[in-house]
């Protein structure tokens, strides 16, 4: 995995610790790699623009914008799988009362 994917893995594994099981490793890895691809594509779109000029002078959508859109859509779907939004959390089991987390004493 890329460095960005590894960073996302570390964050997501902690955030979703209540819903992840050992069998979720592959899905989490795919999510983290798509996240890293999304970041890379966003950087390229920011640098090169959303539209490009083809060799024959036509303006077309950047391939990086297409990659960005695809990665965003995949990440959105995976967030739903892992309970990464308020409505998705209602459908995903394993969520416990977060106020019992000992780390809360240090964060509040």
CA-based torsion, 12, 18, 20, 22: positive or negative: positive
> Do the domain assignments include residue 83?
yes
| pLDDT tens per residue, range 19-56 | 788 888 889 999 999 999 999 999 999 999 999 999 99
Domain encompassing residue 23: 3-92
What is the per-residue pLDDT for 17? 78
Mean pLDDT, the chain, rounded, equals 84
> Do the domain assignments include residue 99?
no
Q: Is the pLDDT of residue 98 over 60?
A: no
> Do the domain assignments include residue 11?
yes
> Do the domain assignments include residue 59?
yes
Q: pTM value?
A: 0.73
What is the per-residue pLDDT for 36? 97
> Do the domain assignments include residue 97?
no
Interaxial angle between packed helices 25-48 and 3-15, expressed in degrees from 0 to 180 and rounded to the nearest 10:
130
What is the per-residue pLDDT for 32? 95
> How far, in whole angstroms, is CA 102 from its chain's centroid?
27
Total domains in the chain come to 1
């Amino acid at each position: 995995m890329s460095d960005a994917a590894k960073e996302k893995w570390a964050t997501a594994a902690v955030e979703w610790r209540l819903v992840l099981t050992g069998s979720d490793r592959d899905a989490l890895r795919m999510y983290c790699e798509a996240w890293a691809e999304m970041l890379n594509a966003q950087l390229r779109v920011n640098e090169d623009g959303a539209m490009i000029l083809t060799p024959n002078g036509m303006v077309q959508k950047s391939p990086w914008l297409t990659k960005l859109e695809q990665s965003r859509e995949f990440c959105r779907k995976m967030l739903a799988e892992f309970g990464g939004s308020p409505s998705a959390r209602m459908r995903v089991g394993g969520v416990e009362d977060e106020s019992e987390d000992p780390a809360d004493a240090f964060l509040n």
